[in-house]
């Protein structure tokens, strides 16, 4: 399905890409079935709480420095403002902009509103938000309740046009709409592409850098300067004006394939900004391929090769030594699909064997029908096939796997997931920062982090000794796929 910016909202990943959240098998099998279009979803008849796309959608836009979010929802949904605010202050400190609370309010839908509607309330909230913060854009995010009771967000926004001279953009992210929270990224990008980005006036030397928090901003800015280009880390930490000019950039890259597909391909389709589709810059192979991909697009292939040669000479000898120590370590990985595939590759480079991988969802392809490069690389280059499951953070399945396989280490990337492996007695590392294992230095740091974690297992051992897992013996002895239903047609 083509990206269509004429419609109000992006179709869900399930509908657009055929993405799934339930599968159990192997990596090669999943990739092969995906290629043939036969990878159907397996629903579960038992689920644990997962996440909804509103978190991803709001999480993306609330990092825009001069924008505000109005969440048309009961108060609970607006709790995202707390995390957004903590992150915003952290980013301010790290990246050098004013640390301040997030501009993220909620309409506080109550029981009456579910009966009589709350358009007036939404209208008032948008006007008050504009008065209060003078933002340069307002995103109006929806919720399960606003969706189910049929609130007409578009009309409220349309009616406000004469009063509010800035883009007011709907962000459709009802939680029940998609099992795949990454759909929320696409909803946010759709809002940017339809409400913020303007046609180019000129061409610039800027590379749109889609990422989450931008902790490597300084290093990458210096690196790109060597090649005469300038990164724009987005969306967190940007201004509405900067985002409006994404169409003028020389190229777009994304730190994560899952994150960037809709925006990268949307900018390419609408404005001809090339989306650099390579492996992601984690580990040595990924970083080098990524950098070469950028070099090619901006015509700096020679400079890139010189840089790579110098860095290899500097870092590889030390990395080789660490690899010898890491050899033979067995790992289980549980992350979003982009990072799961990336980190299987990085671990293989370091000599760590992935004995099970789980991805929180699975995209058979990216937008524009593009192949999922990081998966494709694995299928072509893996020494052995890997047992693989797709689960929307279903802890019971993962704990079952860890309990059976007892790996040396578990790699997570999401809040609240790491500790459970630890309780089971597995040393655990949370790849919280998206730039973990980025480039040469990052890979070295990551290798050292793994070594430290598997060498000093005190915390894992101590906690596991005193912890009873909240699962029945019966469950821990079942196959992990027990509650997966048959493939839906």
**Residue 217 in contact with another protein, rule: CB under 8 A:** no
Q: What is the largest CA-CA distance in the chain?
A: 69
- Pick out residues in 26-45 that bind another protein (CB under 8 A): 45
Q: Which residue's CB is nearer to another protein, number 311 or number 392?
A: 392
**Residue 50 in contact with another protein, rule: CB under 8 A:** yes
Q: Which residue's CB is nearer to another protein, number 358 or number 395?
A: 395
User: Hunting for tokens 């929307």 — which residue is that?
Assistant: 392
Task: Please select the residue that binds another protein; options are 20, 30, 31, 54, rule is CB under 8 A.
Answer: 54
State the binding string over 439-468 for another protein (x if CB under 8 A, else -). Answer: -----------------------------x
The CB-of-27 to another protein minimum distance in angstroms stands at 24
| Part of the chain binding another protein (CB under 8 A), chosen from 107-115, 186-194, 266-274, 451-459 | 107-115
**Residue 109 in contact with another protein, rule: CB under 8 A:** yes
Written as six digits, the tokens of 335 are: 């992350």
| Part of the chain binding another protein (CB under 8 A), chosen from 155-163, 325-333, 348-356, 412-420 | 412-420
State the binding string over 363-402 for another protein (x if CB under 8 A, else -). Answer: -----------------------------xx-xx------
Closest by CA position to 226, among listed 205, 245, 212: 205
The CB-of-419 to another protein minimum distance in angstroms stands at 6
Beta strands in 268-361 (DSSP E): 330-335, 353-359
d(CA 483, CA 489): 18
d(CA 141, CA 173): 7
Task: Please select the residue that binds another protein; options are 5, 154, 161, 176, rule is CB under 8 A.
Answer: 176
Neighbours of 89 (CB within 10 A): 15
C-alpha distances out from residue 85 to 173, 233, 305, 445, 468, Å:
20, 19, 41, 29, 35
Q: Are 485 and 47 in contact (CB under 8 A)?
A: no
User: What is the SS3 assignment for 376-405?
Assistant: HHHHHHCCCCCEEEEECCCHHHHHHHHHHH
Strand partners, 71: 106, 141
Binding site for another protein (CB under 8 A): 45-55, 73-83, 85-86, 89, 99-101, 105-111, 113-114, 121, 124-125, 128-129, 132, 144-145, 148-149, 175-177, 179, 181, 392-393, 395-396, 415-417, 419-420, 468-475, 483
């Amino acid at each position: 399905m083509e990206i269509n910016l004429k419609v109000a909202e992006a179709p869900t990943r399930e509908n657009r890409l055929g993405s799934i959240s339930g599968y159990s098998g192997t990596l090669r099998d999943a990739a092969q079935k995906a290629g043939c279009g036969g990878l159907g979803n397996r629903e579960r008849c038992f689920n644990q709480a997962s996440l909804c796309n509103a978190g991803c959608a709001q999480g993306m836009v609330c990092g825009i420095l001069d924008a505000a979010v109005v969440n048309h929802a009961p108060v609970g949904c607006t709790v995202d403002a707390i995390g957004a605010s903590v992150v915003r202050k952290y980013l301010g400190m790290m990246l050098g902009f004013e640390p301040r609370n997030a501009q993220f309010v909620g309409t506080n839908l109550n029981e009456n509103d579910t009966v009589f509607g709350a358009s007036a309330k939404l209208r008032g909230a948008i006007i008050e938000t504009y008065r209060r913060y003078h933002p340069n854009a307002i995103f109006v995010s929806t919720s399960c309740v606003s969706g189910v009771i049929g609130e007409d967000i578009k009309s409220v926004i349309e009616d406000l046009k004469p009063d509010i001279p800035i883009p007011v953009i709907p962000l459709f992210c009802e939680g029940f709409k998609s099992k795949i929270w990454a759909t929320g990224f696409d909803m946010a990008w759709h809002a940017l592409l339809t409400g913020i980005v303007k046609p180019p006036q000129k061409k610039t030397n800027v590379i749109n850098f889609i990422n989450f928090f931008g902790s490597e901003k300084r290093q990458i800015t210096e690196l790109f300067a060597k090649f005469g280009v300038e990164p724009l880390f987005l969306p967190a930490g940007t201004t509405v004006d900067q985002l409006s000019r994404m169409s003028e950039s020389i190229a777009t890259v994304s730190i994560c394939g899952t994150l960037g597909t809709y925006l990268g391909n949307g900018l390419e389709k609408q404005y001809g900004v090339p989306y650099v589709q390579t492996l992601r810059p984690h580990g040595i192979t990924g970083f080098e391929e990524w950098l070469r991909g950028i070099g090619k697009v901006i015509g700096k292939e020679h400079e890139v090769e010189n840089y790579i040669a110098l860095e290899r000479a500097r870092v590889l000898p030390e990395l080789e030594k660490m690899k010898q120590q890491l050899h033979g370590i067995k790992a289980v990985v549980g992350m979003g699909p982009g990072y799961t595939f990336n980190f299987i590759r990085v671990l293989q480079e370091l000599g760590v064997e992935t004995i099970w991988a789980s991805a929180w969802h699975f995209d058979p392809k990216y937008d524009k029908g593009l192949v999922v490069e990081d998966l494709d690389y694995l299928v072509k280059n893996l020494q052995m096939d890997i047992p693989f499951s797709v689960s929307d953070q279903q802890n019971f399945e993962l704990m079952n796997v860890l309990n059976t396989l007892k790996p040396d280490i578990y790699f997570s990337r999401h809040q609240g997931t790491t500790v459970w492996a630890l309780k089971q007695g597995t040393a655990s590392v949370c790849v919280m920062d998206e730039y973990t294992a980025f480039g040469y230095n990052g890979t070295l740091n990551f290798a050292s982090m793994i070594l430290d974690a598997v060498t000093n297992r005190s915390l894992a051992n101590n906690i596991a000794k005193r912890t009873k897992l909240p699962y029945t013996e019966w469950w821990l002895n079942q196959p992990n796929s027990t509650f997966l239903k048959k493939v839906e047609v």
